[in-house]
Structure 1
Amino acid sequence: MKIALIGYGKMGKAIEQIALQQGHEVVLRLDVNNPEEFTAANLQKADVAIEFTRPETAFENLQKCLEAGVPVVVGTTGWLHRLEDAKVICTQHQGALFHSSNYSVGVNIFFAVNRFLAQMMNGHPQYEVRMAETHHTQKLDAPSGTAITLAEGILENLKRKTNWVNQPTEEAEELSILSYRVDPAPGTHEVYYESAIDTIEIRHTAHSREGFASGAMQAALWLVGKKGVFGMADLLGF
């Protein structure tokens, strides 16, 4: 498979390493140093594009891929307020778009456990829920996309919470997410249910970027030949 890497930072290089180990070819590497190479003709040399850049550029990047007829896997977070626009563009060009707040298989299992636990906690109002997430200082968005996905899973299943806030809160209907930025920290996400007598805690800690890069490669392989908008639930089946 021929791959275009949009974003050639730490994640892009981690993906490249796995791609080469699996026998694939990277035909295009794009970053801030060579924007002139970001053309439809160059994109079309690839079977699939994998995008890990910045929130403010992700939408434009995926749009270029879809307009060029190239399936695109987007790993950048912080742009999902434009997801509906992306779906329209994908449909217009009969393209393929794969997006996720986190490509780690372990994190997606964590998402499922989080939803199930929130549903169970509906019958136990004595437990107050809160969240925390920790990333390296180069992480631009706060809370992380993964934390937002976890929060949405709680809000969808725990009736006493209606919205999340990225700060401590005393409001009963609000879900607090605290964000910490320290080095080195690939990513830790924690959900706490606390009562006067005990605490239930679930946590996922990433030890390296390899899990994210491997998942992105798995998504890219799966996406080729498909049409539509997909996520990790489609890939993993839960």
Structure 2
Amino acid sequence: MKIALLGYGKMGKIIEVIAQSRGHEIVLRKNSSTSFSGLETADVAIEFSTPETAVSNISEALMLGIPVVSGTTGWLADYHKMEALCKEKDTAFLYGSNFSLGVNLLFEINQFASKLIGRFPEYKIELEEIHHTQKLDAPSGTAISLANQVISNTRYDKWSLEPTQETDLKINAIREDAVPGTHYVTFSSNIDQLQISHIAFNREGFAHGAVLAAEFLNDKKGIYTMKDVLRLNENIFP
């Protein structure tokens, strides 16, 4: 499979190594100072760039009918535009706030836990995410995804870094050196506390998931998520 890397920072370089180890060819390594030359030869594009360049990178590939896997966060106000462009060009698009297998399992656990604990108003819920100081957006896209799950299942109606009302779900966004990504969801009452978490040891899990998503998307049409890649839509309970 021929892969175009739209964004060639730390993640792009790790994705390159993993993709090549799986027998794929990199036909474009796009950064802020290079052109899109070679993109037209790709079977699929993997986009990890910046919130400012994500939409133009995704658009460029979709306009050519090339399926896109996007892992950039902070640009989702334009998500529906990219979804519409994908459908117009009859290609495929997959956005993920996080491609790690563990984080996607965390999403499933959080969905169930927030739905269960949401029945007990004595529990206050709070999120915390910790990332490296080079991360450009705060809170992380993963934290926002977790927060939206909580909001859909509880009394909270929006998330906030600085909550002013009881129905604001607080997210603590912390930036420290050399932290690939840590997320906590904490459920606290006056008598006890429950917590679910995911701690990444390196970026390889995210990169590996992105390559798996690209392999899944190749030759497909439509809009997908990591739930499709990992078959998490299937009912695992008897």
Aligned length: 232
Amino acid at match of 1:17: V
SS at match of 1:233: helix
The aligned residue for residue 235 of structure 2 is none
C-alpha deviations, 1:13-72, integer Å up to 9, x for none?
A: 0000101111111111111231xx214xx2121111111000011011100001111111
The aligned residue for residue 21 of structure 1 is 21
The aligned residue for residue 36 of structure 2 is 38
Q: For 1:48 and 1:192, how far apart are their aligned partners in 2?
A: 38
Provide TM-score, normalisation by structure 1.
Answer: 0.95
Q: For 1:88 and 1:45, how far apart are their aligned partners in 2?
A: 23
Does residue 1:163 correspond to 2:161, yes or no?
A: no
Task: Mark the runs of 5 or more structure 1 residues left unpaired by the alignment.
Answer: none
Q: For 2:188 and 2:172, how far apart are their aligned partners in 1?
A: 16
From 217, 220, 225, the equivalent of 2:214 is 220
Q: For 2:188 and 2:177, how far apart are their aligned partners in 1?
A: 28
Does residue 1:11 correspond to 2:7, yes or no?
A: no
Identity of aligned residues (%): 48
Does residue 1:176 correspond to 2:173, yes or no?
A: no
Name the Cα RMSD after superposition: 1.0
Amino acid at match of 1:104: S
Q: CA deviation at 1:123?
A: 2.2
Q: For 2:24 and 2:229, how far apart are their aligned partners in 1?
A: 20
Q: For 1:170 and 1:129, how far apart are their aligned partners in 2?
A: 15
Amino acid at match of 2:171: I
The aligned residue for residue 103 of structure 2 is 107
Q: For 1:133 and 1:236, how far apart are their aligned partners in 2?
A: 24
Q: For 1:138 and 1:47, how far apart are their aligned partners in 2?
A: 30
From 111, 136, 141, the equivalent of 2:137 is 141
Amino acid at match of 1:82: D
From 67, 70, 91, the equivalent of 2:66 is 70
Matches within 5 A, 1:196-235: 196-235=190-229
Amino acid at match of 1:166: L
SS at match of 1:33: coil
Does residue 1:2 correspond to 2:21, yes or no?
A: no
Structure 1 stretch displaced more, 180-189 or 23-32: 23-32
SS at match of 1:154: helix
Q: For 2:2 and 2:87, how far apart are their aligned partners in 1?
A: 24
Q: CA deviation at 1:166?
A: 1.4
Q: CA deviation at 1:126?
A: 1.0
Does residue 1:123 correspond to 2:119, yes or no?
A: yes
SS at match of 1:175: strand
SS at match of 2:118: helix
Q: CA deviation at 1:170?
A: 5.3
C-alpha deviations, 1:53-111, integer Å up to 9, x for none?
A: 00011011100001111111111011111111111111111111111000001100000
Q: For 2:39 and 2:20, how far apart are their aligned partners in 1?
A: 19
Task: Mark the runs of 5 or more structure 2 residues left unpaired by the alignment.
Answer: 233-238
Q: For 2:88 and 2:63, how far apart are their aligned partners in 1?
A: 9
Greater than 4 Å deviation, 4+ residue runs: none
C-alpha deviations, 1:179-222, integer Å up to 9, x for none?
A: 00110100000011111111111110000000000000000000
Q: For 2:83 and 2:32, how far apart are their aligned partners in 1?
A: 26
